[in-house]
Structure 1
Amino acid sequence: MPLRSRLRHLAVAGIALLTATASLPPAAAAQSHGDHRPHDGKLSAVIRYTEYGIPHIVAKDYANLGFGNGWAQAADQVCTLASGYATVRGERSRWFGADGVPDGSLSSATKNITSDLYFRGVRDSGTVERLLKTPAPAGPSRDVKETMRGFAAGYNAWLKQNRITDPACAGAPWVRPVTELDVASQGFALSVLGGQGRGVDGITAAQPPTAASPGAKTATDPAEAARELFRTDNGAMGSNAVAFSGATTANGRGLLLGNPHYPWQGGRRFWQSQQTIPGELNVMGGSLLGSTTVSIGHTSSVAWSHTVATGTTLNLHQLTVDPADPTAYLVDGKAEKMTRRTVTVPVKDGQPVTRTQWWTRYGPIVTSLGAGLPLPWTKTTAYALNDPNAVNLRASDTALGFSKARSTAEMTAVLRRTQGLPWINTIAADSSGHSLYTQSQVLPRITDDLAQRCSTPLGRATYPSSGLAVLDGSRSDCALGSDPDAVQPGIFGPSRMPALKDAPYAENSNDSAWLTNADRPLTGYERVFGTIGTPRSMRTRGAIQDVSAMAAQGGLKVADLQKQQFADRVPAADLAAADTAKACAALPVGGAADLSEACGVLARWDRKVNTDSRGALLFDRFWRKLLASATPADLWKVPFDPADPVRTPNTLNTAAPAFAKALTDAVSELRAAGIALDSPLGEHQFVVRNGQRIPVPGGTESLGIWNKVEGVWDAAAGGYAEVSTGSSYIQAVGWDGSRCPVARTLLTYSQSSNPNSSHFSDQTELFSGSRWVTERFCEKDILTSPKLRVVFVRG
């Protein structure tokens, strides 16, 4: 029998063997695996690998599916996963030193020691164990907990049965077996990323004031500090997504294009797979590393993506400190003692560090949020951080519900039931032609009325600017309250969430819900969700121009989504490049700062950021320098108009002093680095993988490009020599009437972090050439893959 036929036979036989139990009558099934919790040593799955190392995991139940998932993720990403588990165990200082810097995947901690003090405190206090024991729907479902148990067993089985070849952790003592608690703790860390995760340094540094305490520091401009802290367009993480309804498509079925902008390194990478339990579940997409469910993906009839939302996921309570005791605070005139949480962290080559954290009815005492917003604990005042996602371990149930959904209506029902998404919007389309946008987040229940009644002076500055409420913690009538349809106290219920159904297009690029569809603006939501009638980012403006034109054109197919992803149009250039070239030509010529060559380069530039675009790098460096020195009022002659939010502001103010200086500085910088002003972008925006330089298309946030890429500038290395964040797990999904979705995908940084893997850079090379992976979702497509490889994995 030929090898290909043998593999197909093995694949079919293996699946039949694994899933036979699933098809037994209920009584026989109960006899075969008792309480549905088989011993870890008996867990197993079939993994079929197709092109680019994409695994198609088949198992008979959730524990076994988790086993196959944990095994396959470990095979590709063992070092990254192990680093994350060291983080949530509070062991980074033990293995990497107290002053080392975490990769930022699981919190904003600036040093290993503060990360450890926080996560060891979470572990010691039993926080995640309590959430695991909380009955659904407030806590995770049994099915999700089974996937976590199985994931830990699969990861451990891979460690036991394989040799690590990744030099990042080969032979490292910190690569150790994990438990269900470790897996759940990583999910908890992702949940609080926008809340307690922002305040880790301030939580672990908070100590009662003493006579020797330094004077109180306050933010120079708290409104601006809060605005900067909660910006969604700062390059750290973002996304685009658009859903088109059947009214705009060639066949009346929906279309979805998802383009999340996540880190290219570390624990917030995506990893692609298909997960199948015959008769129960069949989903394909990208999972955040360590997740037991698919984060972004599609079933046979519905597809979804997420974008980082503008909802402010935490609030502060300003406490009145008891004059007789700085570790007590007053509520309605009565003193309440803070709770001490003393944490000890082992340190590599040093003495263990012990520190006490202080907790209140509202949450932990915090003395700062980021570097720009100090929150001093004085003898009269302290601040407590409320994060409703600190009691939310439901995101996996939301994802699991999506993975079984057949329509956008079912997805809406899943969101109502689980209420698990902490900091993201959802955009979806289905095969019946429906589209959906919803900002269904877990947010503190801060109504505008509550903020009006209960804001402290600091809150009156920060709430309008950023949605960060600072409430008077000394009054019980300033409590957050509850909505009757909310699954937990103190959050908004589903009926309060901004949503748009069945619009011709529904798009989000990390601005608020207001212009999800420019013809159907969303209003009426509370400030904590986001703003209304305010300037949109350049990326939002460009995206709305593009997708509204696509919707108006109609007759859309998956191929049109693919074109949009790699159109690489620069909206900022469409507004400013011609004026820049014209004004450049009027500047003095000659001398060291001669700009005459630059004028011609900008005039000839195609206003795109393809790898072969000449002039893109010059405009990029000029534009960054101009925005860093010019205020919005100085930048544009025509200001923002809320009645025309997509086209304003506009008309570059080339007479402003910052203009000539930015252009001169950009030209001088490139010349000093030996970079020709008209060099193709790909020669100076690239990544290096195993010694090979791979050109990268796309561009930075401020240019407004859909295909966002945040390069790491290194003039000595020749330009942008690495990517920090940007286009990551991309999917273009539609339906043609057959049982198989029409899907094209791309994992820009490839499936494995191991430089010795054949899937370390293969999809990165596709990304360089604006090429896609043709997805294999249906059995006939999997079994006919020329790269089919079948693996039976067992405990």
Structure 2
Amino acid sequence: MRRLIWVLLGGALALLIGVSWPLAGTTATEILWDTYGVPHIYADDTEELFRAFGWAQAQSHGDLILRLYGQARGRAAEYWGEDYLDSDRWVHTMGIPSRAQAWYEAQTPQFQTYLDAFAAGVNAYAQTHEAAIADEVEAVLPISGVDLLAHGQRVLNFTFVVNPQQVAALATDDSAAAMALPTPGSNGWAIAPQRSASGEAMLLANPHLPWSEAFRWYEAHLIAPDLNVYGASLVGIPVLNIAFNDQLGWTHTVNLHDGWDAYQLRLTEDGYWFDGQMRPFEVSTQALQVKQADGTLQPKTLTIRRSLHGPVVQEQGDTAIALRVVGLEHPGALEQWWQMGRAHTLAEFEAALQRLQIPMFTVLYADRQGHILHLFNGHVPVRSGGDVEDWSGLLPGDTSDTLWSEIHAYSELPRLLDPPTGWLQNANDPPWTTTLPPAIDPDDYPTYIAPLPSMDSRAQRSARMLAEDQQISFEEMVKYKHSPRMELADRLLDDLIPAARQQGRCTSTSGCRCPGCLGSGAAADSRAAVLFATWARQVDLERLFATPWDENAPLSTPAGLADPAGAVAALEAAAAQVQTAYGALDIAWGDVFRLRSGPVDLPASGGPGHLGIFRNLWFAPEEDGTFTAVGGDSYVAAVEFSDPVRAMAVMTYGNATQASAPRQQEQLDLAAQQQLRPVWLSRAAIEANLVVRESF
């Protein structure tokens, strides 16, 4: 019955907004699906392009995106039950649904049309392919352009900039736990012609995100008049977030950006204290509905209190915690990404960046003219002083001294264009080490804008590969991207093994006399890495080194063992643990660390970033003692701005989550083999690798 109602509503909506799509008898719009499930969308106008992009995303990820849109509405518990109640409370407390409506009204009329078209494409696919959409998510249909903005806001502002786990940890006065929570990351490179073997600029896009939910990427190729852009969007987002065209391209990394603060309020009977005066809260209520096991709805009342700082997220005794998050007055992130993809020159691209609507993410850029660019992008609050550490815990909320209301202008953000070194990198290190020797001086910026110069071992590995190769070929860039070397092991083994021998603890069970057991690479067939990785989990990496990292020796520090005896004792403990778990110290890395999807079970190469591995994978333990990859390398693209553009890519987990989507295993196979596949950009190449053609 509900599906029948949806079909009728969908048909009515199509009549109301002029969507009679797909249209019989016209081939103005086509989706050419290649052998890896990538849609190459050809359209004669932009509105049709967005409509087809919505259709394609629904075909590849329909169930997932409808679930995400339902969560962004704050109605997930109404649709799917009690497990989603906390999600709904977060969404409504943050004001996402009402703000999404305001954001929609703030869009330009043209971009409103594009958002509506994407939503109409999702609706049209669901209406035309009823059996392909799971019954449990059909209640979300039909969707609208407002849903796209709510989803974008939930993902960008309230997952990337701040997420509920961080707030919960801080609200329990556990600042250390809040900062220790795993955060998304990435690698990114931009290489200028003088460092490229071909004399052409090159770009490496390599985001590291969880392999699930809103963090999944979707690869697509969009072609319309004056547009030919290829890349990936976060699933459910109607524009490409990382992309390249015939002239230029960019990637993002998660930057060390403080875009939110938690304020501790002193409560009074009628409100809270601020600058010596009592202020009343702005109070509202939301009626949430929770689906019960029998299908009935049980109402839950949510009372939301807002201060000058933002919404209250916790109250205890005579104090409360209120949250302030950047970007909520900037509704244009999606349109900015769209304009970035349409740019043909550096000037046009920077004009899009100067809109400053995207709330965070470092930008690394390269183009056919040979320019490379690094921008520490984001909404950085103009603060009253202090450094990043000073603003990382609970802040006093009873004074205007800590309450910010403005963000830094584009011209005030760390930016570097065409450095003499000829290369730029970011592996989630602060902007000061984007190239070496450093070319951005932190003394030119407020100390709170980003952490002081520092490089963890993955960032050092990233910079080392670039710094040590004067002429990098495209093939070498792809090879470097998959490097399984452990920078941490390279740095420590010359100290650790002699320390064990000197202490007379270098026995056959300690590992240091096991041939190859303490090598420095996490390739699948390496018998050198499991023991070292286990040892690294036994020690305190923050206190491990005798000499700390030094910005004057960024690739040779930290160095030495601060506590050789303790390090050797940890090695013995790690060896015992490995021997007990796997029966041998020299077990292959790929026997323990796996790439799994359904029936597919493959050995993995690469590993955690704290080991200094550029080929970054995150693993979760299994009951049998093995580990399964759950995040890290996801979408990878290597681009050379030759004529024509040369590109290779892989979507590690495949380009679809719908059960009916074919051939998703093949990209996991490529990832296991540390390979990329060709990106087909010309019509002839696409036609030669065509699986399905859809014409509208």
> TM-score when scaled to structure 1?
0.78
Letter in 1 for 2:81: G
2:468 is aligned to 549
How far did 1:277 drift?
1.4
Deviation, structure 1 residue 38: 6.2
How far the C-alpha of 1:313 sits from its partner, in A, is: 0.7
SS at 2:100 equivalent:
helix
| Aligned partner of 1:632 among 532, 535, 542 | 542
Given candidates 494, 515, 518, the residue that maps to 2:433 is 515
| Structure 2: distance between partners of 1:661 and 1:95 | 54
Offset at residue 584 of structure 1 (A): 4.2
- Contact 2:97/2:150 (CA < 8 Å) preserved in 1? no
- What's 2:189 paired with? 242
Aligned length: 668
Verify the 8 A CA contact 2:486 2:521 in the aligned structure 1.
Answer: yes
Give, in angstroms, the shift of residue 52 of structure 1: 0.6
1:155-191 deviations in Å (ceiling 9; x for gaps): 111112225558xx46655563322221221011122
Q: 1:395 aligns with which of 330, 333, 337?
A: 333
**Structure 2: 5+ residue stretches without partners:** 1-15, 24-28
Structure 2 CA distance for aligned equivalents of residues 724 and 130 of structure 1: 36
Deviations 1:63-98 (A, max 9, x none): 321211111111111221122122112233234432
Are residues 1:445 and 2:382 paired?
yes
Counterpart in 2 of 1:198?
163
Q: Deviations over 1:438-494 (max 9, x none)?
A: 012022222xxx135xxxxxxxxxx5426438665545576535xxxxxxxx21110
Out of 683, 693, 696, which is 1:790 matched to? 693
Instruction: Single out whichever of 264-273 and 406-415 deviates more from structure 2.
Output: 406-415
Task: State whether structure 2 residue 249 is matched by structure 1 residue 303.
Answer: yes
Would the aligned equivalents of 1:584 and 1:596 in 2 still touch at CA under 8 Å? no
Deviations 1:538-585 (A, max 9, x none): 1111111111112xx12x332121011112211011012343344445
Q: Which amino acid aligns with 1:729?
A: Y
Change (3 A) 1:158 1:218: closer
Q: Secondary structure at the match of 2:331?
A: coil
C-alpha distance in 1, partners of 2:685/2:34? 10
Whether 2:76 is the aligned partner of 1:133: answer no
1:268 positional shift: 0.9
CA distance in 2, matches of 1:75, 1:156: 11
- Change in Cα spacing, 1:595 to 1:583, as seen in structure 2 (3 Å) is farther
Note if contact 1:570-1:607 (Cα within 8 Å) is conserved in structure 2. yes
SS of residue paired to 1:384: strand
Aligned to 1:480: 404
- Partner residue, 1:363: 310
1:747, CA displacement in angstroms? 0.8
Distance 2:18 2:34 in 1: 30
CA 1:542/1:639 → structure 2, altered by over 3 Å: closer, same or farther?
same
1:689-768 residue pairs with structure 2 within 5 A? 689-714=597-622, 716-720=623-627, 722-736=628-642, 738=643, 740-768=644-672
CA distance in 2, matches of 1:703, 1:650: 14
Q: Is residue 191–residue 372 contact of structure 2 (8 Å, CA) maintained in 1? A: yes
Q: Is contact 2:424–2:435 with CA below 8 Å preserved after alignment?
A: yes
Q: 1:491 to 1:759 in 2, by over 3 A?
A: farther
Are residues 142 and 617 of structure 1, via their aligned partners in 2, closer, same or farther at CA, if it must alter by over 3 Å? Answer: farther
CA separation of 1:667 and 1:201: change in aligned 2, threshold 3 A: closer
Tell whether 2:149 aligns with 1:184: yes
Which region of structure 1 is more displaced relative to structure 2, 261-270 or 53-62? 53-62
- 2:20 aligned partner: 41
Distance, in Å, in 1 between the alignment partners of 2:498 and 2:216 is 43
Counterpart position of 1:370: none
Find the partner of 1:670 among 578, 585, 589.
578
What TM-score, normalized to structure 2? Answer: 0.89
2:532 aligned partner: 619
Deviation at 1:732, TM superposition (A): 0.7
d(CA) in 2 for partners of 1:151, 1:171: 22
Letter aligned with residue 305 of structure 2: W
1:89 aligned residue: 73
Distance of 2:564 and 2:370 partners within structure 1: 50
2:343 aligned residue: 405
- What amino acid is the match of 2:339? G
8 Å contact from structure 1 (residues 257, 730) kept in 2: yes
Distance 2:144 2:487 in 1: 48
Using the TM superposition, give the Cα deviation of residue 126 of structure 1 relative to its aligned residue in structure 2, in angstroms. Answer: 2.0
- Corresponding residue to 1:293 among 239, 252, 259: 239
Match of 2:121 in 1: 154
- Residues 1:531 and 2:454 aligned together: no
1:119-171 Cα shifts (integer Å, max 9, x gaps): 2456786211112112xxxxx334432232112111111112225558xx466
Structural mapping, 1:247-326, within 5 Å = 247-279=194-226, 281-321=227-267, 323-325=268-270
Mapped to 2, the partners of 1:744 and 1:317 lie a distance apart of: 46
Change (3 A) 1:469 1:496: farther
Structure 1 residue matching 2:291: 3-state secondary structure: coil
Contact 2:32–2:690 under 8 Å retained in 1? no
- 1:581–1:603: 8 Å Cα contact kept in structure 2? no
Shift in CA distance, 464/754, structure 1 to aligned 2, threshold 3 Å: closer
Q: In the superposition, relative to structure 1, how do residues 779 and 336 fare at CA in structure 2: closer, same or farther (>3 Å)?
A: same
TM-aligned CA distance change 1:589 to 1:311, over 3 Å: closer
Instruction: Report the RMSD for the aligned CA atoms in angstroms.
Output: 2.9
Partner of 2:86 in structure 1?
114
Equivalences for residues 554-569 of structure 1 within 5 A: 554=471, 556-569=472-485
1:317-356 to 2 correspondence within 5 Å? 317-321=263-267, 323-325=268-270, 328-349=271-292, 351-356=298-303
Alignment-mate amino acid for residue 565 of structure 2: A
Deviation of 1:199 after TM superposition, in Å, equals 4.4
Cα 1:202/1:770, change in 2 over 3 Å: closer
Q: C-alpha displacement at 1:251, in angstroms?
A: 4.0
Please tell me whether the aligned partners of residues 263 and 309 of structure 2 are also in contact (alpha carbons under 8 angstroms).
Answer: yes
Deviation by residue 1:101-123 (Cα, 9 ceiling, x = unmatched): xxxxxxxxxxx322112324567
Deviations 1:423-445 (A, max 9, x none): 21000111111100001202222
Looking at structure 2, the residues matched to 474 and 332 of structure 1 have their Cα atoms a distance apart, in angstroms, of 6
- Give distance in 2, aligned partners of 1:475 and 1:545: 46
CA distance in 1 between partners of 2:95 and 2:288 (Å): 12
- Identify which range, 291-300 or 756-765, moves more after superposition: 756-765
1:656 to 1:86, Cα distance in 2 relative to 1, 3 A: farther
Contact 1:710 1:725 in 2 (8 A): yes
Is the contact made by 1:85 and 1:182 (CA closer than 8 Å) also made in structure 2? yes
In 2, distance between residues paired with 1:406 and 1:312?
32
Q: 1:254 to 1:94 in 2, by over 3 A?
A: same
Change (3 A) 1:120 1:652: same
Shift of 1:377: 4.8
The equivalences for 1:460-499 within 5 A come to 463-465=387-389, 467-468=391-392, 473-476=397-400, 479-480=403-404, 490-499=406-415
Helix, strand or coil for the counterpart of 2:163?
helix
Deviations 1:190-221 (A, max 9, x none): 22135784248969x99xxxxxxxxxx9737x
Where 1:276 maps in the other structure, the secondary structure is strand
What's the secondary structure of 2:158's corresponding residue?
Answer: coil
2:523 is paired with a residue of what secondary structure?
coil
Contact 1:152 1:179 in 2 (8 A): yes
Q: Give the structure 2 partner of residue 660 of structure 1.
A: 568
